Structure 1
Amino acid sequence: MSHPLRIAIADDEAEIRDYFQKVLERLGHDVVAAVDNGADLVTACNSLLPDLIITDVRMPQLDGDQAVREIWKCHRIPAILISAYNPPVDPAGDAPTWSYLNKPVRRTDLEAAILAAVPD
């Protein structure tokens, strides 16, 4: 990747948010928002317009896949969904497209997913 990305992350577990923040900064990216629920993710993305979203699927107030669908109504921001559970149903038609990673997420898998989601 030739330039740093502005990334919004969402996970209801503080340790996971901290992990992503550290890994993403080591990869040269800027974390512009780190929130613990889907509703706050929607608000942050609508105001900050990040280059990429990385979100847990199951969260309070609004699940990550639902938050991405809401964001996509106005902004086509690529997303990577993460979860310890089965992936959500892939979107169809005009719905968002996303990558999916199983928890625990390894740095190499995250780096590959970022490159696939936001190619140069």
Structure 2
Amino acid sequence: MARILITDDAAFMRMQLKDILTKLGHEVVGEAENGHVSVSKYQELRPDLVTMDITMPEMNGIEALKEIKKINSSAKVIMCSAMGQQALVLEAIKEGAKDFVVKPFSPERIQESIEKVL
């Protein structure tokens, strides 16, 4: 069981992901609607894993990933992206993201990604 922080600007996406993660037996310790909130919640909660949307207002997922990596260089972050964001996904992997999942989410793919990362 992992302690997970979910980051996505869309509330329904956070809800969907939380539902999948909870059913898979993980604990969702926090939710963030943008990169700024994600970074501060990461500092506060120290989760085992962060799911990070790429495209968000205020601070995007790649900027937030960089900030989280400054806090903890071994932080485990899985990027979540829509189709057609390959360039951003590649940049995120280069910046230290451990994996990426394409929306819409399938529980099987989420589980596979978590097992791979942890």
Q: Same fold (TM over 0.5)?
A: yes
Q: Deviations over 1:52-97 (max 9, x none)?
A: 0001100111111210111111212111101114132231xxx423
Following TM superposition, by how much is the alpha carbon of 1:98 offset from its aligned partner in structure 2, in angstroms? Answer: 2.1
Following TM superposition, by how much is the alpha carbon of 1:47 offset from its aligned partner in structure 2, in angstroms? Answer: 1.1
Q: Deviations over 1:12-52 (max 9, x none)?
A: 11110000111111111110111110100000001110000
Pairing partner for 2:75 from 74, 77, 96: 77
Q: Structure 2: how far apart are the matches of 1:86 and 1:114?
A: 21
- Corresponding residue for residue 99 of structure 2: 99
- Corresponding residue for residue 48 of structure 1: 45
RMSD over equivalenced CA pairs, Å:
1.1
Alignment of 1:1-120 (within 5 A): 4-75=1-72, 76-84=74-82, 85-87=84-86, 88=88, 89=91, 90-91=93-94, 95-118=95-118
Q: Structure 2: how far apart are the matches of 1:108 and 1:15?
A: 19
Q: Structure 2: how far apart are the matches of 1:42 and 1:69?
A: 9
Q: Structure 2: how far apart are the matches of 1:7 and 1:31?
A: 5
Structure having the higher helix fraction is 2
8 Å Cα contact 2:53-2:80 kept in structure 1 = yes
Of all paired residues, the percent bearing the same amino acid is 30
**TM-score, scaled relative to structure 1:** 0.88
What stretches of structure 1 of length at least 5 have no aligned partner? none
How many equivalent residue pairs? 112
What stretches of structure 2 of length at least 5 have no aligned partner? none
Three-state SS of the structure 2 residue aligned to 1:111 is helix
